[in-house]
């Protein structure tokens, strides 16, 4: 039974536990010596690690996605927690409980499904409603859709993340549609619910999250648009222009060609979907970054992050209370 988790690892703590290897790379220091950099994970999060002794030899004993036993110590490196590994031993998968190593959505699946069903029930366009019902009534699809992560590492990178992200984006779109009367609310919400359905086949998530061959070759935008087109073709009388506008929103939701979109948003609904998707991903990504910079003495991250700038790390409420107590300013209220 795993005894330590990433969330338990504070600076100075001795580490003696198991992880899944999310990433590994042998690098060469300025001195000419090789060292091994790792991203290790478990169900509570991720942490970087470095191994200096016999780095090349050790790296050959395991692969990304394998389980390893690690002994070492948590230190602070470039502002972040980091394990300096003394001993790393590959583990047979039969010796671990996989549930200890895959992160899960902090929100309950049934709660999120309830929100999803409510959003679908509020779609009154009969063609779009039939399309949504065809997805929700497909047990095999829904099993994947409610289990899959939304990304490999950037945002909602945990089991159930795709459902959480889709509900969040659809809710943002629902609220936005209420502010602007020119928006086709039903089209926008439908596109938001379905914008990332291709990720059920783009990502694999057995021991860690990674891209499938289909994901690497084609990507979720194309996969999702093909899934959508196939469902639309099975619905008699689905309006051609409505289908094109929906498929366009899905294909263009990354916004820019350099961000992977084959088309840039050319409708109001596609534009709103792009920004709602980007907002939800960025907010979640921001949270992931600052969570890795744990420590009451740290107020800012470094530049090495998604946003390429220092990010402010909010102090936890209990830390604020402790500071106030130390200063004699806390009145117990």
What pLDDT score was predicted for residue 30? 86
Distance of CA 144 to the CA centre of its chain: 16
Instruction: Tell me the per-residue pLDDT of 150-165, one tens digit each, with 9 for 90 and over.
Output: 998 878 989 999 999 9
What pLDDT score was predicted for residue 295? 57
- Is pLDDT above 80 for 277? yes
- Is pLDDT above 70 for 323? no
pLDDT band at 316 (very low <50, low <70, confident <90, very high): low
Instruction: Tell me the per-residue pLDDT of 58-98, one tens digit each, with 9 for 90 and over.
Output: 999 999 999 999 999 999 887 678 999 999 999 998 888 88
What pLDDT score was predicted for residue 294? 58
pLDDT band at 320 (very low <50, low <70, confident <90, very high): very low
Q: What percent of the chain has pLDDT over 70?
A: 92
> For the chain, which domains are there?
6-100 (2.40.50.140), 109-287 (1.10.3210), 296-333 (no CATH)
- Is pLDDT above 70 for 318? no
What pLDDT score was predicted for residue 303? 78
- Is pLDDT above 70 for 278? yes
pLDDT band at 144 (very low <50, low <70, confident <90, very high): very high
Instruction: Tell me the per-residue pLDDT of 192-242, one tens digit each, with 9 for 90 and over.
Output: 999 999 999 999 998 889 999 999 999 999 999 999 999 999 999 999 999
- Is pLDDT above 90 for 297? no
HEC-encoded secondary structure of the chain: CCCCCHHHCCCCCEEEEEEEEEEEEEEECCCCCEEEEEEEEECCEEEEEEECCCHHHHHCCCCCCCEEEEEEEEEEECCEEEEEEEEEEEECHHHCCHHHCCCECCCCHHHHHHHHHHHHHCCCCHHHHHHHHHHHCCHHHHHHHHHCCCCCCCCCCCECHHHHHHHHHHHHHHHHHHHCCCCCHHHHHHHHHHCCCCHHHHEEECCCEEECHHHHHCCHHHHHHHHHHHHHHCCCCCCHHHHHHHHHHHHCCCCCHHHCCCCCCCCHHHHHHHHHHHHHHHHHHHHHHHHHCCCCCCCECCCCCCCCCCCECCCCHHHHHHHHHHCCCCCCC
What pLDDT score was predicted for residue 296? 59
What pLDDT score was predicted for residue 226? 96
What pLDDT score was predicted for residue 152? 86
């Amino acid at each position: 039974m795993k005894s330590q988790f990433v969330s338990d690892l504070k600076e100075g703590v001795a580490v003696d536990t198991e992880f899944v290897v999310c990433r590994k790379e042998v690098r060469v220091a300025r001195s000419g010596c090789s060292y091994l950099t790792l991203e290790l994970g478990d169900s509570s999060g991720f942490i970087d690690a470095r191994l200096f002794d016999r780095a090349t030899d050790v790296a050959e004993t395991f692969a990304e996605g394998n389980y390893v036993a690690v002994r070492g110590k948590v230190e602070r490196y470039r502002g972040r927690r980091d394990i300096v590994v003394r001993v790393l031993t590959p583990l047979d998968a039969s010796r671990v409980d996989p549930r200890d190593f895959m992160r899960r959505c902090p929100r309950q699946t049934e709660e999120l499904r309830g929100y999803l069903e409510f959003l679908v029930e509020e779609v009154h366009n009969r063609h779009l409603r039939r399309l949504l019902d065809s997805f929700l009534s497909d047990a095999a699809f829904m099993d994947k859709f409610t289990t899959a992560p939304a990304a490999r590492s950037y945002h909602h990178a945990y089991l159930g993340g795709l459902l959480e992200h889709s509900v969040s984006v659809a809710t943002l779109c629902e609220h936005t549609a209420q502010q602007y009367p020119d928006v086709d609310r039903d089209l926008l919400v439908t596109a938001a619910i379905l914008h990332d359905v291709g990720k059920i086949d783009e990502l694999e998530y057995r021991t860690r999250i990674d891209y499938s061959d289909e994901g690497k070759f084609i990507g979720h935008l194309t996969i999702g648009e093909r899934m959508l087109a196939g469902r639309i073709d099975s619905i008699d009388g689905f309006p051609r222009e409505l289908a094109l506008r929906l498929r366009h929103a899905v294909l263009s939701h990354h916004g820019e060609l350099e961000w992977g979109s084959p088309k840039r948003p050319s409708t109001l609904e596609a534009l709103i979907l792009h920004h709602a998707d980007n907002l939800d991903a960025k907010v979640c990504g921001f949270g992931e970054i600052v969570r890795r910079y744990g420590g009451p003495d740290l107020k800012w991250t470094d530049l090495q992050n998604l946003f390429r700038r220092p990010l402010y790390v909010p102090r936890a409420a209990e830390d604020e209370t402790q500071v106030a107590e130390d200063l004699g300013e806390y009145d117990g209220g």
